[in-house]
Structure 1
Amino acid sequence: MKKPPAPDDRPSSRPAGTRPSTGVVVDRETVELKRLEKRIGRVHLQQRLGIEADHATQIFGRGRTVFHIENWYSIHALIRLTLRCLGLYGWGVRNATSIQIRHNEVVIPHLPAAFDGLTLLHLSDLHLDMADGYPAALIERLQQVQYDFCVMTGDFRAKTFGDYQAALAALAQVRDALHGPIYAVLGNHDSIRMTPGIEALGITLLLNEAVALELDGEVIHLAGIDDPHYFQVDNFDKAAQHIPPDSTAILLSHSPEPYQRAAHAGFDLMLSGHTHGGQICLPGGVALMTNADCPRRFCKGAWRYHAMQGYTSVGSGASVVGVRFNCPPEITLHHLRSGSTPDQ
């Protein structure tokens, strides 16, 4: 009787020159993260994932502000209870779905002629899984506006940790109501693991990256930085490295906090969100808090710093508690114009 060959002597059915299978199953998320690493760099990805794992639920410390009310869930319940006892909760919920359409004219002296009159739709702080009725209210407003490009300045989900599939599902509904090219950045509520799901919807995320927008042979540049508020992984060198110094350049940043660096980097316009304009404000729109480490004049509406113009959206959604007072949510239409600014 012939003995079976020893393990090292057994003939192989593998094609010559190939390696044996290790039996390791690589899941889809691992593959997607590897692709993302090649795109944005190992250090950026490791920092983002590490901070998400270590600090996503932290209430004190980390980031540009020492207190993060979005992570203090017991106070969320207390705010809701207090508003209900005062008979204000239902009013605040209705306010949070009464989305306003804002218009902002931006005059840029060296704007190429092809872009004169171009309109950017600006959406920010959607927090799409915060309240069931909110996505429908947003979609209704979106069907009423005309624009050429859409930009989003982060915070797609309500929480800062955990599952994000509900937010992505709601974003898919909103995406169906949008047209034209869409560019976005991530906010402090967003995981970088959401990137493949967001981009699968046809939304281009700018993670310390820039793109050239071309019309009739003329070009402007649109850059986006990763969250500068909590994760602090924004990198202006990377975001602006391919932008010619004489080109019209627009920056997307979740928060207005790095306004000084943006201006000195040569950007003409900075679009941000994050602050919610305070969300719960005193009469006259005076914010109780802005959750931003910058002067209040940069935390709501149009502003200017040196030669750079800026706009901080109060956001379309709501965070912490799904209510608003004296600070209605908005979608913003930025109308680009060529011409001289008032101080020129």
Structure 2
Amino acid sequence: MTARIETPDGTGSAAEDERLDYRLSLRLGSEHARQRLGIEQAFEARLRDREGHFCHVENWYSLHGLVRFCLSVTGLWGRGQRNARALTLQTHRFTLPHLPASFEGFRILHLTDLHVEMDEAALETLIQTVAELDYDLCVLTGDYRKLTWGPIHGALAGMERLRAVLKDEPLAILGNHDSIRMVPGLEDQGYRVLLNEHHRIDRNGDSLYIAGVDDPHFYKVDNLEQAADGIPASAASILLSHTPEIWRAAAHAGYDIYLCGHTHGGQICLPGGFPLTLDADCPRHVGKGAWRHAGMQGYTSAGSGTSVVNVRLNCPPEVTLHTLTRGPQ
């Protein structure tokens, strides 16, 4: 038995509901589908008032107005919006002595926290930026939708525009803003969505393993053991997680590299880039940029989008190009 779900705009037919139910049960297994969908439905039910209107913090326009007012009176609102559209390219190197020779110089384009409906200008800048980049693999670590609830068709439309300029088959995971209902649409567009699964990349007889877990922040449906099932202990492996919050468990599970986002690097930071909040249950040293733990190397991207308000201060948006190397030979 599967959980009942709505179509993306909430107005679909019963037949469309059943088809989506069926596809998700086949794709995830009935237990995972029922768990993820049940949490989503319970969450959205709590957000509605007696008249059926959404009342989530993201829909409290008075809060948006307060933030806008505070930034405006300090002269920072316009600057913050310009900053949010000034996408930067960050480069980073991971050194793995046991990296297979065929993957020396392998480049990974890391995109995260796109929130594609938030700002048309920012989405267009993202598309133009990544279209010109040279890389071997693109990975996306979640939060494609603007809000944490409601319709998904706008997010899917933005992701389809982005997919048109991405090379080969991008690997993606879901974030806390993303509905499990998005999976069939994303996969139809040509994204490979990893839901506590892994994908093996082969080159000249060598292999690199990319694992991805479902959202560990809000939905708590990550499963590191399931994602790693079948990865040889001696293999080079990379974990995709939406948030850095499971960094300790991932290190002890034997992953070499951990790629994530979620924190936006703080989005609104004090001078020097010190975040006011990271909205994550993790120490600040894993909240932004490169870090290490128990032999595992990690990188938490500040992401390319914005959430709640479309501003950034002392924390530029980014796309990240990682290069894998075995180091000096």
TM over 0.5: yes
* More deviation, 292-301/239-248: 239-248
Give the letter aligned to residue 231 of structure 2.
I
Alignment partner, residue 45 of structure 1: 33
User: What TM-score, normalized by structure 1, do the two folds share?
Assistant: 0.86
C-alpha contact (below 8 Å) 1:71/1:160 kept by paired residues: no
Give the letter aligned to residue 295 of structure 1.
P
Alignment partner, residue 293 of structure 2: 305
Alignment partner, residue 260 of structure 1: 248
1:104 corresponds to 2:92: yes
* More deviation, 98-107/87-96: 87-96
Residues in 1 aligned to 2:58 and 2:254: alpha-carbon distance in whole angstroms: 33
Give the letter aligned to residue 88 of structure 1.
L
Deviations 1:254-294 (A, max 9, x none): 00000011111110001000000000000000000000101
Q: Secondary structure at the match of 2:120?
A: coil
Residues in 1 aligned to 2:160 and 2:232: alpha-carbon distance in whole angstroms: 35
From 292, 296, 319, the equivalent of 2:280 is 292
Give the letter aligned to residue 185 of structure 2.
G
Q: Secondary structure at the match of 1:103?
A: strand
Q: Secondary structure at the match of 1:101?
A: strand
C-alpha contact (below 8 Å) 1:110/1:339 kept by paired residues: no
Q: CA RMSD in A?
A: 1.9
1:172 shift after superposition: 1.1
Label 1:192 to 1:116 Cα distance change in 2 as closer, same or farther (>3 A).
same
1:45 shift after superposition: 1.1
Q: Secondary structure at the match of 1:186?
A: coil
Q: Secondary structure at the match of 2:255?
A: coil
Alignment partner, residue 121 of structure 1: 109
Label 1:143 to 1:38 Cα distance change in 2 as closer, same or farther (>3 A).
closer
1:81 corresponds to 2:55: no
Alignment partner, residue 260 of structure 2: 272
Deviations 1:185-229 (A, max 9, x none): 000000000111111110010001111111122111111000000
Give the letter aligned to residue 273 of structure 1.
G
Give the letter aligned to residue 169 of structure 2.
P
1:51 shift after superposition: 1.0
* More deviation, 239-248/115-124: 239-248
Alignment partner, residue 213 of structure 1: 201
Please list every run of at least 4 consecutive aligned residues from structure 1 whose deviation after the TM superposition is greater than 3 angstroms: 56-59, 68-74
Residues in 2 aligned to 1:302 and 1:167: alpha-carbon distance in whole angstroms: 29
From 218, 225, 235, the equivalent of 1:237 is 225
Q: Which runs of 5+ in 2 are unaligned?
A: 1-12, 48-55
From 125, 147, 150, the equivalent of 2:135 is 147
Aligned sequence identity (%) = 50
Q: Which runs of 5+ in 1 are unaligned?
A: 1-24, 60-67
Label 1:36 to 1:176 Cα distance change in 2 as closer, same or farther (>3 A).
same
User: What TM-score, normalized by structure 2, do the two folds share?
Assistant: 0.89
